[in-house]
């Protein structure tokens, strides 16, 4: 029988299949862990006297609470935020006590967990990958089944390398056509979320398909899969192809030599079979997508930059959302004054994102009064960007360039947006207070973020592209 | 975990749609390394003013909300971040059930593991509950029925194994640890044993 990619990966990881009374026991090939959602799971292990069952499949880094200023990372200055410092120190102790491989604060390979997994070649097609973090969906770009879990489940995977799971439904997201210049993967995924809705993917694993997706680089595919959770789907997948294999070949933790050839041969069988049935299908015409921006307080509240904030009479929740954002129905979003621009996060903190930003900033200045913060997704991204001289472009434009981490995406480390300020952000969530108490987030692509930094208003980047 | 069989409680209504886990507990409180005491920070940015004083008009600060164990929320509660701190905070505050028409996947999973019953109801029942805050309802996990004050019973779905665990106060980890032989057999079958 014809099967979807999700069904194939699922069946390859069934330790015990599900029944009416019990969920499946699903084997996990890669468990990524970080300082925020693991402490309570380590406590569970200590209480029960259990070891980490598969240390070889467990990999730790620190990213959420970590500082991004060089003095605190490398200069010997203690982490200024005391609660963050305590969490980082607890994580170091936990990883040491349980003998889990950790990329510590000063490790040259450290970075956001969803950036370094692929970067190191840990993320591979056909794997089951979990992390106590909802943006684990990112890894689905490689044809892995990757999803976020809670801390209790982090403990389950530590102790047994397995999870109890019910099989999800499947949804095909077919994206067809060539993107217009200046329209990027972030615009595509914002358009998809706009179409599906922020809960449209609940209970489903998405599979992104079609010519637009096939034409994307791995970094672009990761941007799309990253935001699957913003449509309610725990996981989003893309079939592995030559682009996937070319990205992975030669990476440190990818299979090498004969093992590589065998792995690629197996990975070629993962794609959804011709004639396989999805529970639901949606179709997106990529040729119609324009640069997008959010105007409200969830990622589904987005418009093309040239459009006006929609009018919805009699919707109190909608009115409250606009009031929080300080916007009026019918207002042009290009009127919004920008205070802060944040480039980074697991959504858009990769080298190609920084190159796009530099392409706009080169020979231009950040507008007076705008604070632009550029935070690479990993230390490797930082090194590669600097090797290309991008940091000099950023400095010349007046933007700040930091060490890697989640930073202003959620402000846990103290990198926050002040109350009432507008931040054009390449991150993934525009929830109330996400970037700091009272912060107002406008999600957009790296190109749009850079263009908005230059003009001080929300700006369609095509107006600045040669 | 405390078993749940029957809950009888007045409801607290928060009709806002898409209540995300960043609202339930903002990220700046996630630097904790324990589960305890998070109820104080539940809905912190809606509940307290800039000086940290409770806002008197916020529902959880009103006398009517005190002692209520059932939260009726607008469509799609729990979206966004996977933080289990969200159900920890709700439970620490005193909630034992959340009712909506849609509940986000990860939040629903996390809730079930912490004795917080996620209850999905039809739109008509939901609208009635939203329009009648503070009514006393009964949630019977054995029969999977929500009982309304006029005697109506509305059936709600609960995953069979999670229901078993909630009814008996059983910890899922014990069940998983009991699968040790099957896990070892899987590892051997698929050549996934740990390197020596």
The 10s digit of each residue's pLDDT in A181-202 is: 999 999 999 999 999 999 999 9
- Chain A CB contacts of B18 below 8 Å: 198-199, 298, 317
* CA of residue A452 relative to chain centroid, distance: 22
pLDDT interval class at A466 (50, 70, 90): low
Query: Inter-chain contact B182–A16, Cβ cutoff 8 Å?
Result: yes
Q: Is the pLDDT of residue B167 over 90?
A: yes
Q: How far is CA A307 from CA A290, A301, A330, B154, in A?
A: 10, 12, 9, 44
Rg, C-alpha atoms of chain A: 21
User: Does residue A153 contact residue B108 with C-beta atoms inside 8 Å?
Assistant: no
Percent of chain B with pLDDT over 70: 99
Alpha carbons within 13 A on the beta-carbon side of A379: 19
Residue A204 has phi, psi (to 5 degrees) of -115, 155
Closest CA of chain A from B110, distance in Å: 6
pLDDT interval class at B196 (50, 70, 90): low
Hey, is the C-beta of B80 within 8 angstroms of any chain A C-beta?
yes
Task: Please give the order of strands across the beta sheet that includes B6-14.
Answer: B117-120, B97-100, B70-73, B6-14, B136-140, B145-147, B153-155
Hey, is the C-beta of A106 within 8 angstroms of any chain B C-beta?
no
- For A199-232, the pLDDT digits (tens) are 999 999 999 999 999 999 999 999 999 999 999 9
pLDDT interval class at B74 (50, 70, 90): very high
Query: Inter-chain contact A411–B45, Cβ cutoff 8 Å?
Result: no
Pick from B16, B110, B176: CB nearest A162: B176
- For A21-46, the pLDDT digits (tens) are 999 999 999 999 999 999 999 999 99
- Chain B CB contacts of A20 below 8 Å: 160
Distance between CA atoms of A365 and A395, rounded to whole angstroms? 9
DSSP lists the bridge partners of residue B120 as B100
User: Does residue A54 contact residue A33 with C-beta atoms inside 8 Å?
Assistant: no
* CA of residue A271 relative to chain centroid, distance: 23
- The interface residues of chain A toward chain B in range 304-363, judged by CB-CB distance below 8 A, are 317, 320
Distance between CA atoms of A19 and A35, rounded to whole angstroms? 35
Distance between CA atoms of B170 and B179, rounded to whole angstroms? 16
Cβ neighbours of residue A63 under 8 Å, at least 6 residues apart?
Answer: A34, A35, A110, A111, A112, A113, A404, A405, A406
pTM over 0.90: yes
- Count of CB contacts below 8 A, A vs B? 175
Alpha carbons within 13 A on the beta-carbon side of A207: 29
């Amino acid at each position: 029988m014809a099967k979807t990619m999700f069904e194939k990966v699922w069946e390859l990881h069934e330790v015990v299949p599900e029944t009416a009374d019990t969920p499946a026991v699903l084997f996990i090939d890669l468990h990524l862990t970080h300082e925020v959602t693991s402490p309570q799971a380590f406590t569970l292990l200590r209480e029960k006297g259990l070891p980490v069952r598969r240390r070889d499949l467990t990999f730790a880094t620190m990213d959420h609470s970590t500082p991004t200023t060089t003095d605190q990372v490398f200069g010997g200055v203690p982490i200024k935020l005391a609660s963050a410092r305590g969490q980082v120190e607890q994580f170091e102790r936990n990883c040491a006590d349980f003998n889990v491989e950790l990329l510590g604060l000063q490790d040259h390979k450290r970075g956001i967990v969803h950036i370094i997994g692929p970067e190191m070649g840990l993320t591979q097609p056909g794997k089951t990958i979990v992390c106590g973090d909802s943006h684990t969906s990112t890894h689905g770009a490689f044809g892995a089944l990757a999803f976020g879990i809670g801390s209790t489940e982090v403990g389950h995977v530590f102790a047994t390398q397995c999870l109890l799971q019910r099989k999800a439904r499947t949804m095909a997201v077919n994206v067809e056509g060539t993107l217009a210049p200046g329209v990027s993967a972030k615009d595509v995924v914002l358009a998809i979320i706009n179409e599906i809705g922020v809960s449209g993917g609940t209970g489903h694993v998405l599979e992104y398909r079609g010519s637009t997706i096939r034409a994307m680089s791995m970094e672009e595919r990761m941007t799309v899969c990253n935001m699957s959770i913003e449509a309610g789907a725990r996981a989003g997948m893309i079939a592995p192809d030559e682009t996937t294999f070319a990205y992975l070949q030669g990476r440190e933790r990818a299979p090498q030599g004969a093992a590589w050839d065998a792995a690629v041969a197996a990975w070629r069988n993962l794609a959804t079979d011709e004639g396989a049935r999805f529970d639901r299908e949606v179709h997106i015409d990529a040729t119609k997508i324009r640069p997008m921006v959010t105007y409200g307080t969830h990622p589904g509240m987005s418009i093309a930059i040239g459009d006006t904030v929609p009018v919805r009479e009699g919707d109190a929740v909608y009115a409250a959302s606009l009031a929080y954002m300080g916007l009026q129905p019918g207002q042009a979003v290009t009127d919004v004054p920008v205070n802060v621009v944040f480039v980074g996060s697991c959504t858009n903190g990769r080298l190609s994102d920084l190159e796009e930003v530099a392409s706009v900033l080169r020979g231009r200045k950040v507008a007076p009064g705008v604070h632009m913060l550029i935070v690479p997704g990993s230390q490797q991204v930082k090194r590669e960007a600097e090797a290309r001289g991008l940091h000099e472009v950023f400095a010349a434009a007046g933007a700040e360039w930091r060490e890697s981490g989640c930073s202003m995406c959620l402000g846990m480390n103290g990198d926050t947006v002040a109350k009432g300020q507008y931040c054009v952000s390449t991150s993934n969530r525009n929830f109330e207070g996400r970037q700091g108490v009272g912060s107002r987030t406008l999600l957009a692509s790296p190109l749009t973020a850079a263009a908005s930094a230059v003009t001080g208003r929300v700006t369609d980047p095509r107006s600045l592209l040669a | 975990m405390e078993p749940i069989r029957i809950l009888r409680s007045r409801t607290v209504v928060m009709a806002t749609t898409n209540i995300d886990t960043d609202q339930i507990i903002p990220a700046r409180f996630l630097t904790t390394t324990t589960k305890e005491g998070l109820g104080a920070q539940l809905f912190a940015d809606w509940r307290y003013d800039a000086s940290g004083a409770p806002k008197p008009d916020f529902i959880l600060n009103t006398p009517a909300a005190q002692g209520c164990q059932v939260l009726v929320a607008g469509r799609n509660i729990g979206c966004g971040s996977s933080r289990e701190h969200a159900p920890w905070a709700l439970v620490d505050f005193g909630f034992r059930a959340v009712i909506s028409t849609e509940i986000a996947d990860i939040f629903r999973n996390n809730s079930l593991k912490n004795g917080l019953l996620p209850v999905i109801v039809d739109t008509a029942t939901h609208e009635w509950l939203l329009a009648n805050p503070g009514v006393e309802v009964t949630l019977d996990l054995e029969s999977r029925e929500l009982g309304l004050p006029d005697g109506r019973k509305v059936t709600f779905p609960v995953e069979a194994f999670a229901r078993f665990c909630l009814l008996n106060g059983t910890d899922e980890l014990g069940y998983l640890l009991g699968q040790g032989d099957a896990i070892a057999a899987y590892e051997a079958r698929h050549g996934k044993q740990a390197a020596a």
